[in-house]
Amino acid sequence: MASAKQIKNQKLFAKRVKRGDFRKAIAKTKKALPKTVPKNEIEMVKTENEFYREYKKLGGKKSRAKYKILLNEFYDHTLDIFTGTGGEQIRYSTRNEALYGFKKSAKIDWKEVDRIYESVDNIHAYT
């Protein structure tokens, strides 16, 4: 038979469960679930991973984070002139000028520019 103290604690526990005290404590300790990622972003991440693997095969030494920064900068300078999607907002008149602008802003040598360009072009045609 339960003592008076045990019965009191059982009632208090039932009251706290009903109030939701333990549910809140559990919710705070759980990690937030990742948000669902749209399919096109998943494909873009897969493609960037392929680009990075190709970059490493070509002899690239940069980390994945630095490569991603350089890749975004590469797109910024060259995408419109190489793909013809810039309309009237094209910054450079030739592809060589775009590559030179990328080289200058990223402060890298021509071999590194070629590695980044070829890492993209070998996976998907960049023109």
Helix axes 110-121, 95-106, angle to 10 degrees: 120
Distance CA 108, CA 106 (A): 6
What type of residue is 99?
L
Query: Cβ contacts of residue 127 below 8 Å, gap of 6+?
Result: 82, 83, 121
Token pair 């008076």 is found at: 4
The tens-digit pLDDT sequence of the chain (127 residues) is 788 888 898 888 888 888 877 775 555 555 665 566 566 666 777 788 899 999 999 999 999 999 999 999 998 898 888 877 656 667 888 889 999 999 999 999 999 999 999 999 988 887 6
pTM for the full predicted model: 0.64
Distance CA 52, CA 90 (A): 27
Token pair 């019965």 is found at: 7
Q: What's the token pair of residue 17? A: 């469960």
